[in-house]
Amino acid sequence: MSRKKVLFISGSLGLGHVGRDIEIAKALRKKEPDFDIWWLAEDPASMVLEQAGEKLIPEAKLVASSNAKLEDSVQGYNANLIKATMNSRKDWSDKAKLVAKVVEKEGFDLVVGDETYEIVIEAVNNPDFKKFPLVMIYDFIGVDSVTRNPVDAIATYLVNKIWAKGMQAGTSIADKSLFIGEVEDIPDRKFGFMLPNRRELAIKSLDFVGYILTFDPTEYKDKDKVRRLLGYNEDPLIICSIGGTSAGKNLLDLCVKAYPLMKNELPDLRMILVCGPHLSPDSIQTVEGIEAKGYVPELFKHLAAADLGIVAGGGTITLELTALQKPFLYFPLKQHFEQEMAVAPRCERHRAGVKMDFEKTTPQSLAKEALLNISRKVNYPSIPINGAENAAHLISQTLRD
């Protein structure tokens, strides 16, 4: 029997997608050792994949940067994701056509796309486009207008209309659609006027697999042990992180301003600023007691060692902090509908973290909230984290059917 060839396409807004995709691929290899897995991803996801020893197809170098589009839309602590989406339309169309050519040339038996909306849009607009089996991965359903700009409202409606049409099309577009999370993560409201209810359509169209982590939280319960392994001492420790883009730089600057106020109460306090792969640590003006780092592999270990997390509103890092049972403050990026309308409600449902409003937060109020929460005992409800194994089973089933 010839070996099956699978192409994984990993989304690159931040780094959460590629981490979970690698976990799915690992689980799939265990289940199906005769599958060959290749990857299409842009920077910084491509960097993570190369470090993990995964095989990128040469065409990965031709893909335009989604992170660059998002960062172009940043003004202060605002990152208009609707605007970034609309600005990416041509790049998405080019990427979808590139995927079709690669699949035909290399003879891939299956494409697994993590939020590959470009393929769905192209297939909706051109019914003859999709000629390959596709498993689509989602972690939110539908977009939301979170500004008062009528252009954003119109764009939101048009995007949601295509989204709903793509889901209603069933296997003619995606042979299998997976949702990373739980049913309750999907808003129980319509996509828009005269459009279907998001949650009801999702229940009919998607398989819910649970969440995916790149680690086992039970192995990191002993904070002192983790600290020893990482070389930290017993001093109070705060980890501040903005994720895989530079959009949250202002949050790190705010943390620097608040640090001396915290240190007045906790003289031995240590703060680590994690700038990620797209923001230079040198761009942050630190003071004694603060260390700025770039990309930190296995950041979850440092989160496990921390007494408090101060983070942007990314879906992955807030989930990791929830699973690690850590107190944290999170600041959803303004106008970033996923962080405001999907991640924040999930955190609230899990009773995890303290939601903060960047525009209303001063160094004084941040210091006060941090001191109230540092080392605070939390007891978040347990969450299903076997998503990688469930996803691998469904992917394998799709290819074997």
The pLDDT assigned to 12 comes to 62
The pLDDT assigned to 64 comes to 60
Q: What is the dihedral of CA 27, 28, 33, 38, to 10 degrees?
A: -120
Please report the domains of the chain, with CATH numbers, ordered by start residue: 4-212+385-400 (3.40.50.2000), 217-373 (3.40.50.2000)
What mean pLDDT value characterizes the chain? 91
CB burial of 42-79 (b: ≥16 within 10 Å; e: otherwise) equals bbbbbebbeeeebebbeebeebebbbbbbbebbeebbb
Contacts of 345 (CB under 8 A, 6+ apart): 185, 187
The pLDDT assigned to 207 comes to 97
The pLDDT assigned to 70 comes to 58
Q: What is the pLDDT of residues 151-195, one digit of tens each?
A: 989 999 999 999 999 999 988 899 999 999 999 999 999 999 999
Q: What is the pLDDT of residues 216-250, one digit of tens each?
A: 999 999 999 999 999 999 999 999 999 877 788 99
Q: What is the pLDDT of residues 369-384, one digit of tens each?
A: 999 999 899 999 999 9
* C-alpha dihedral sign at 55, 61, 62, 65: positive
